[in-house]
Amino acid sequence: MDFLAEHGMPPLTAEEPSAPAVDPKKRRILVVDDEPSIRRLITRSFERKNAAHALCTAADGFEAGLQVVKFRPDLIILDLMMPNIDGFRVCQLVRANPETRHIGILVITGYAAEENVKRAMECGADSWMAKPFDPSELIQQVESILAASDKRAKNISLTA
């Protein structure tokens, strides 16, 4: 909701399409990339590994903000260079909000220059990978970040 307010957007209403129905036992992963082929590659990587996660996609940072509110992901796989709201800003917004700061963030970028990686980590990313990436490594990174974000969520709830 903070994201919507900050960007002058109206609140979500009942008429808007809802996020996909999700088995409550499954971890939720939001895949954000402006390239449809990358979104498909990532979702297929999870399908091939039979990973028990619910996946949702977004094509840019604006749509990612909406999906964070509706889908309530446990982890975001995030491209950095996107039109409108880039991945750096999405990281900052997720980390700035007490209701979303526990969400794990894995940055995947085709621009893995040292300054971009450093900036992404400063903005709140948990880890990063360069494109092209190994799908097996992607799954390993996701599992590792989910475990770390579980610990972060417990620590946040203990200090709240």
Q: What band does 155 get if pLDDT is binned at 50, 70 and 90? A: low
Half-sphere exposure of 62 (CA within 13 A, CB side): 5
Please spell the DSSP secondary structure of 9-73, one letter per residue.
Answer: PPPP-TTSPPPPP--TTSEEEEEE-S-HHHHHHHHHHHHHTT--EEEEEESSHHHHHHHHHHH--
φ, ψ of residue 87 to 5 degrees: the values are: -65, -30
Quick: pLDDT tens for 108-136: 998 888 999 999 999 999 999 999 999 99
Q: What does the longest C-alpha to C-alpha distance in the chain come to? A: 44
Quick: pLDDT tens for 31-81: 999 999 999 999 999 888 776 789 999 999 999 999 999 999 999 999 999
- In this predicted structure, the answer to whether residue 106 has a pLDDT above a threshold of 60 is yes
Q: What band does 29 get if pLDDT is binned at 50, 70 and 90? A: very high
Question: Letter for the amino acid at 102?
Answer: H
Q: What is the pLDDT of residue 16?
A: 43
Question: Letter for the amino acid at 35?
Answer: E
What pTM was estimated for this model as a whole?
0.81
- Cα–Cα distances (Å) from 79 to 9, 52, 105, 132, in that order, read 23, 23, 10, 12
